[in-house]
Each structure stands twice: as C-alpha cells, then as structure tokens.
Amino acid sequence: MSEGHLGINTEYGDWEWSADAGERARLLQSPNVETGPKGNEECGPAATSKLGAVFIVVNAALGAGLLNFPAAFSMAGGVAAGITLQMCMLVFIIGGLVILAYCSQASNERTYQEVVWAVCGKVTGILCEVAIAVYTFGTCIAFLIIIGDQQDKIIAALMKDSTGAESGHWYTDRKFTISITAFLLILPLSVPKEIGFQKYASCLSVVGTWYVTAIIIIKYIWPDENIPEEITMSPSSWMSVFNAMPTICFGFQCHVSSVPVFHSMKQPEVKPWGAVVTAAMVIALFVYTGTGVCGYLTFGSSVEPDVLMSYPSNDIPVAIARVSIIVCVLTSYPILHFCGRAVLEGLWLRYKGEAVEEDVVRERRRRLLQTVSWFLLTLLLALFIPDIGKVISLIGGLAACFIFVFPGLCLIHTKLSEIQEARPAGWWAMVSYGVFMVILGAFIFGQTTTNAIFMDLKK
C-alpha cells in the first residue's frame, strides 16, 4: 500500500446505522479456513500454506456449475469461441481476486462484504449484501434442480421392467424425489449454527467434480454413440457469445469467499496471493475447458443444459458421476444457505440495532425461521423450474457483479483515498482499470439478465 494512505470510510457516520452489525468478522467465513485475529499478528499453526490456499480456492470455484459448460460452448458458437471467451474473462477474474486482497489490506477487513462496506460506503455495502443473499438463494435453487435431474436418470435406469418400459409409480415422480431428498438430507444439514463439520464433505465434493470431468472426457475419446449431427465451428452472431458469459461467471465465481482465504495464509500479501489465485484459476480453467470441449463435441448443438442428462440412463460410469454430483450438491447447499442466512441475519441485526447473540433463545428461533423459510422457498421454486439453464442465466449475471463490479468499485475508492501531490501514470492506470471492470461487469449483468428475463422465462 502506498505511503500517505488514509483509513477508508472510517468516520462514525458510515457505521451509525449499527453500533454492532452482528455479522461483522463472522459472515461468509469459509468452513475450510481457520482465521485468526485481525491485524498483522504472527500467524499461528492454523495458517494456510500457499499450496493449501490454492486447493481452497479451487474448492470454492469448482462445483456443479461445470455441468452447464458444454451448453455454454454451444451457445458461444463452438470450441474456439468458448475457449477464447474463457481466456479473456480469466484475466479479469484473476485481477478481481488480486484487487480484493489489495483492498482488504487497505481496509483491514476480512470478508468480502466487509471490504465493500469499508471501502465503498454504506449504500454499496448494503447492495453487496443483498446481492450475496439473492445469489446464494438462486444457487440453492439450481442445486435442487440438479438433484432432480440426476435422480430422474438414476430412477429411470433402476425402475425399467423386463420390456424396457419406465415405471410410472408415484414414488418415482420428480417432485416427490426432490422433496424427500431435501427434507431428509438437506434440511437437517442446514439448521446448525456453524458449518465447520462440512469441511471434509467439501473435499469429497471436489473429488466428485473431478470424476465427472474425467468421465466426460473418456466418453468423448471412446464414445458409445454416433457422432452428433451438428457441431458449430463459429458463433452465429457476436451477441450469442455473450450468452455464454453467465455460465463462465457462475463457474469461476469464488470471489465472495476469497478474502477470508487470503487472510488465512501464512503470508497474507498481495504478491504471493496473486500466484495462488493464478494457479487455482488455471486448474479450474483446465477442468471447465475439458468438460466444456469434450461434452460439446460429444453431443454437438443438441447437448442438454445439464450435460449428464444427454447420456443414457443405463450407463454405469455416468450413473456414478450422477451420484457424485448429488453428493456434491448435498454438501454445497448447506454452505451456500449458511452464507445467505448470515447476510440476512446481519442485515436484520443492523436494522434493529441489536448485538449478535444478545438473546440465545431469540437467535435460535430466528435461525430456525430463516432456515425453514429459505428451504421451503428454494424447494418450491425448484419443483416448478425444471430447467437449470434458466436459473444459471439469472444468477450468472449476478456473479459478474462479484467478479467485476464490486472489485472495480473497491479499487477506484481505494486509489482515490490515497493522498498524493502528484498522481503518476500507474495511479491513473489502476483507476482506469477499475472503471473498465465496473463498465464490463455492468454490461454483462445487464445483458445476461435482460436476456434471461425476456427470452428464457417467456418461452
């Protein structure tokens, strides 16, 4: 940080809406990260190594979103367009992660929304928290849809009679299977106040996503079916390329959880963090590219929004991949719900002017009400929105705000807060880069959200 840097938005007026925001220094802490006290104190034994940080960031980035990448390549206009788009966006994705670390040091804050609050002020901070709540809510809906998709195929393989006809029993109905799975497995995991127990399950989910990618690549190299009828080699229009952006943003979005990961490192400095996130994003790039390319080339333009739905239900290796994705989603839903619930809790406590855990009984009652309401709403919407592509189109545009808009705003405010008699070319370059990120993110959000609302939702 440059000399002459002042504290950012440290006036009391910026925080007078709440003397104790409740969620400060607590929200969106990664369950894989053991954070220590603020400041530059010597790191304890729980500090994360560079290699460990790479794994955590990869863990945060990889997920069930990879199922939509083959369809994204199809929308983008083929393999060349899809890879080119990913490579171009990756520069800004990595840049956003580095900017967040830089602004976190400048503001001495340890979570994404705290950095935005401290650097950009109250209004932008509230918008950031609302965006996080909406994003996590939409992602939970997508997870439930994925469970329904995979269960449909598994049940179809298990319930065929001797003639090959599929069973039509009530207990094989999609709405019933999603509901029973959600009530028996997801709801109990979502109720606890803390989710530290999920750290080991998260590692299992990462292994599952790697297996899915491996199966898609193997099935392309040794296909069981004929070559697809149509494989597009170029985009039909430049606008079609932008339709693939929500999926890419959704897949690579790990920015919300990146700040606590940065502070958990043995050396929480911008330069080593840049190496960490570059390595992590390159690994994620190979996984997503392998899935997107091989999945698209296997099925061509007929590929389903959820690529596993394009494979036959009686394929055993693919059935194992479906189980792996279900496990991944079952462990990821409670983590996303915890993040969204924590943001809502913080907004409520700040609005009421109450301290966190002031009344244990009220906190427990409020947590149960929030959890059950969140769970029932996401389940209800998932039952009546069977197409995961429509959900990702909406939340993918919102993910662009976390990758581009908020980091760009943070960079602009941080640089503007520096007191310098003469502002060198580097200062102007950083501010210009921040402005460009905000404009780019706003364009992606506006274009993809408008397209999702006026095209997908009206079909």
Helix intervals (H) in 300-418: 316-352, 360-384, 388-400, 406-416
Quick one: how far is CA 227 from the chain centroid?
A: 33
What pLDDT is recorded for position 46? 54
Asked if 85 contacts 245 with a C-beta cutoff of 8 angstroms, the reply is yes
Q: What CATH number corresponds to the domain at position 239?
A: 1.20.1730.10
Answer yes or no: is 98 within a domain. Answer: yes
What pLDDT is recorded for position 455? 63
In 3D, which of 25, 102, 89, 27 has the Cα closest to residue 61? 89
Overall residue count recorded for the chain in this entry = 459
Answer yes or no: is 400 within a domain. Answer: no
Domain count, the chain: 1
Residue with tokens 């392998």: 290
Answer yes or no: is 59 within a domain. Answer: yes
What pLDDT is recorded for position 34? 39
What burial letters (b/e) apply to 114-134, b meaning 16+ CB within 10 Å?
bbbbbbbbbebbbbbbebbbe
DSSP reduced 3-state for 312:
coil
Which helix (H) or strand (E) covers residue 88, if one does? helix 79-107
- How far apart, in whole angstroms, are the C-alpha atoms of residue 2 and residue 338? 36
Residue with tokens 């924590």: 342
**What does each C-alpha distance from 290 to 53, 204, 210, 296, 303 come to in angstroms?**
23, 20, 10, 10, 15
Answer yes or no: is 69 within a domain. Answer: yes
What pLDDT is recorded for position 365? 85
Integer-rounded Cα Rg, in Å, for the chain is 22
- How far apart, in whole angstroms, are the C-alpha atoms of residue 150 and residue 308? 8
Asked if 337 contacts 142 with a C-beta cutoff of 8 angstroms, the reply is no
Burial class (CB in 10 A: 0-12, 13-18, 19+), 296: buried
Answer yes or no: is 402 within a domain. Answer: no
- How far apart, in whole angstroms, are the C-alpha atoms of residue 326 and residue 148? 9
Residue with tokens 């580097």: 426
HSE of 222, CA atoms in CB hemisphere, 13 A:
4
For residue 147, what are the domain limits? 47-387
In 3D, which of 7, 9, 43 has the Cα closest to residue 262? 43
How confident is the prediction along the chain (459 residues), in pLDDT tens digits per residue? 444 444 444 443 443 433 333 333 333 333 333 333 344 444 444 577 888 888 888 888 888 889 999 999 998 888 988 999 999 999 999 999 999 999 999 888 888 989 999 999 989 999 999 999 999 999 999 999 999 989 988 888 887 644 444 556 777 888 899 999 999 999 998 888 766 555 556 667 778 888 999 999 999 998 876 666 677 777 767 777 787 888 899 999 999 888 988 988 888 899 999 999 999 999 999 999 999 999 999 998 888 888 999 998 888 999 999 999 998 888 888 888 888 888 888 888 777 776 655 556 677 888 899 999 999 999 999 998 877 777 887 788 889 999 999 999 999 999 988 766 667 888 899 999 999 999 999 998 888 878 777 765 555
Answer yes or no: is 453 within a domain. Answer: no
Give just the sign of the alpha carbon dihedral 279, 269, 131, 200.
positive
What pLDDT is recorded for position 32? 38
Reading phi first (left if > 0) and then psi (alpha if -120 to 50, else beta), residue 29 is in beta
Answer yes or no: is 116 within a domain. Answer: yes
In 3D, which of 209, 231, 213, 229 has the Cα closest to residue 221? 213
Asked if 28 contacts 260 with a C-beta cutoff of 8 angstroms, the reply is yes
Residue with tokens 């950083």: 430
Other C-beta atoms lying within 10 Å of the C-beta of residue 299: 25
